[in-house]
Amino acid sequence: MNDPLSPQSNDSQKRLLAALALSFVATAFYTFFLAPKPPEPGAEGADAGVVVAAPADAGTVAAAVPTPGSGSTGTPAANEAPALPERKVDVARQEVHYGFTSEGGGLTAAVLQGSKMREQQSLTIEQGFQKLVGKEIPPPPQMNVAQPVPGQPLPLSVSIAGNSPLPAGLRYAVTEGAGGSANGLTFTGRQGPWEVVKTLQWPTQGFELVYAVQVRNTSGQPQNGELQVHYSRAVDPNFEHAPSFFGGVGNLSRAACYVDEKLHKMSPGDDKPKEEDTKGELHFFGIDQQYFLSALYPLDGPRAGHCTLNASPTAREVTASFPLSVAAGETVTLRFGGYLGPKDPDLLAVVPGPDLRKAASLGDTAFHPKLEDTVDFGIWAVLCKVLLAVMKFFHGITGNWGVSIILLTVVVKLVLLPLTYRSMVSMEEVKKLQPRMEEIRKKHADNREQQNLEIMKLYQEAKVNPLGGCLPLLIQMPVWIALFTALRNSFDIYGEPFIGPIWRDLTYKDPTYLLPLALGVSMVITQKMQPQMMDAAQAKMMTWFMPIIFTATLLQYPAGLSLYIFTNNLLSIGQQYGLRKWLDRKKSNTGGGTPAVVTAGGRRK
């Protein structure tokens, strides 16, 4: 089908290869220079130790009092009523099951319900193939966004620092219902001059809640200090994937705090943000997992305070502190909104949602914390959103995100079709110049530079150019990087099955590595199919080097990216073949004339 001596037939293949190489460089560049660094191996023990040994500000208070679950709950402070046993309360709303305890009046669990609301499954190759042949592998556990950290204040617990401290682990009386609503809990606790009443309320649906903290000064003197709200979350390192060169951006939880106009984040191995940077108007704070978020925000607008972030391999912690000043006999109330759920952009964009605004009697113009900023597409945000919008459109039609990715590939190919077509037409033209090119090659055989210059002059004279150009291959690169970023950040695609028993989550690597291998094989085949113009050594390099590098890189990358590039390879082969056939037919129809005025539409395999 192809003349083995013609330079044109393998041109588009060359461009594909070059594009792969370039995207490889870009990825390598990203991982080396831009991506967050993974934690040092072996730092685990040291880090964890630091956290436990140095509970900083909250700890000075908490140390005096038994922490929840430490086993010494039978020795309350001397001035307290007779000891009651710890009371645990489990409450369920439609999409979340909560667990609370009287010790600290905080969350012991917030388990999201539904098949998608799970930790990311990480299968070994063996398990992957077992699953492929039909063996049942148990799914990963449901996502618990409030797993407490042993020895640390519970999520949602509060403490007061100052002359009259209040510990985070204080015992609270728990009553069900809050503010006339059945969907809620009220915690009441007393110590020293303080009486603290915390109420939690939530609409039946959704992931939002209202958290009101009332602090009353029962003493005769004014009291000053700092009110601290804690959110610590234990993290199972088995479900975290640190970013790495062959592992992509990973799947990490970060302690997060949005201060003034900036989101500060901390994952293990990161430097602690500077104290002055995390001081200011707090917009929200919480734990930001790759696809799930647990965050609190001042319900009535940003509030002056400061954040303390902490991250160890097994825990992420954030404490928000607000200045507190209560006159004798007075009460101060701080109201927070909470979002403990998936990072679904549609849900995050409307926080506080209509149901919550009703429950908290807020107006339509209530403060909106920019929780959607936790979905971090980085510098590729615009392109990521465009790609996601296109894929979402196809998902609406097909109901399958894998098929959406395939259709996205087709769309990109179609957009680039005029370029491919033009260059193929141009290559036909160049055939006529073959004898003169040979002449030049012979004449300047020892000078590559001069050879190129002369050939370029020849092209210019004849007003043709068989080379595809640098832009067409560069255009695909941003698409790949953006798709990669989108996959690793989009809850929409997270945990969505494509086909078969193994391709159940396109945002994570293919456990069987079949897709990246198929991608490599497709590259080798297309390369082998093409006649080679280069010397044998270079041809061999071209045939094997790029496919191997590409397969190796994509082994650990989201399966969706492999799917995109694999589909792209297949389409390239089909397109090359189809366009060539069409041009040949065109030529015979017009008696060898040049196909100068043909529209480049509709012909694609």
Where do contacts with another protein occur on this chain (CB under 8 A)? 10-11, 14-15, 17-18, 21-22, 25, 29, 418-419, 422-423, 426, 452-453, 456-457, 459-460, 463, 465, 467-474, 534, 541-542, 545-546
Nearer to another protein, 113 or 465 (CB): 465
Q: How far is the CB of 462 from another protein (least distance, A)?
A: 10
**Contact yes or no for 458/436 (Cβ under 8 A):** yes
**Contact yes or no for 165/225 (Cβ under 8 A):** yes
Number of H helices, E strands in the chain: 14, 16
Nearer to another protein, 78 or 537 (CB): 537
Q: How far is the CB of 538 from another protein (least distance, A)?
A: 8
Strand residues in 218-366 grouped as ranges (E): 223-234, 254-259, 262-266, 279-288, 292-298, 303-312, 315-326, 331-342
Nearer to another protein, 156 or 430 (CB): 430
Nearer to another protein, 25 or 379 (CB): 25
Best CA proximity match to 252, nearest among 319, 318, 312, 338: 312
Q: Determine if residue 315 is left, alpha or beta; phi over 0 gives left, psi from -120 to 50 gives alpha, anything else beta.
A: beta
Q: How far is the CB of 235 from another protein (least distance, A)?
A: 35
Nearer to another protein, 144 or 476 (CB): 476
Q: How far is the CB of 276 from another protein (least distance, A)?
A: 29
**485: Cβ contacts below 8 Å, ≥ 6 apart:** 249, 377, 378, 380, 384
Nearer to another protein, 445 or 541 (CB): 541
Describe the strand order of the beta sheet including 106-112 as a list of residue ranges.
88-92, 96-101, 106-112
Kindly state the tokens that stand for 531: 């006649």
Cα Rg of the chain, angstroms = 31
Q: How far is the CB of 380 from another protein (least distance, A)?
A: 17
How far apart CA 565 and CA 480 sit, in angstroms, is: 8
Q: How far is the CB of 35 from another protein (least distance, A)?
A: 16
How far apart CA 273 and CA 259 sit, in angstroms, is: 11
Q: DSSP for 387-431?
A: HHHHHHHHHHHHS-HHHHHHHHHHHHHHHHHHHHHHHHHHHHHHG
How far apart CA 162 and CA 325 sit, in angstroms, is: 10
Nearer to another protein, 11 or 47 (CB): 11
Nearer to another protein, 48 or 417 (CB): 417
Residue at token pair 């957009």: 415
How far apart CA 398 and CA 377 sit, in angstroms, is: 25
Nearer to another protein, 46 or 382 (CB): 382
Q: Determine if residue 243 is left, alpha or beta; phi over 0 gives left, psi from -120 to 50 gives alpha, anything else beta.
A: beta
CA 467 and chain centroid, separation: 38
Nearer to another protein, 455 or 482 (CB): 455
Q: How far is the CB of 419 from another protein (least distance, A)?
A: 5
Q: How far is the CB of 599 from another protein (least distance, A)?
A: 14
How far apart CA 480 and CA 387 sit, in angstroms, is: 10
Best CA proximity match to 316, nearest among 230, 385, 375, 392: 230
**8: Cβ contacts below 8 Å, ≥ 6 apart:** 424, 427, 428, 430, 431, 466
Distance in Å from the first CA to the final CA of the chain: 17
Nearer to another protein, 257 or 542 (CB): 542
How far apart CA 91 and CA 297 sit, in angstroms, is: 22
How far apart CA 425 and CA 586 sit, in angstroms, is: 11
Nearer to another protein, 379 or 541 (CB): 541
How does strand 254-259 pair with strand 292-298? unpaired
Nearer to another protein, 120 or 423 (CB): 423
Nearer to another protein, 132 or 464 (CB): 464
Best CA proximity match to 260, nearest among 158, 347, 373, 379: 373
Best CA proximity match to 502, nearest among 515, 492, 491: 515
Q: DSSP for 55-92?
A: -HHHHHHHTTSPPTTSS-TT---TTSPSP----EEEEE
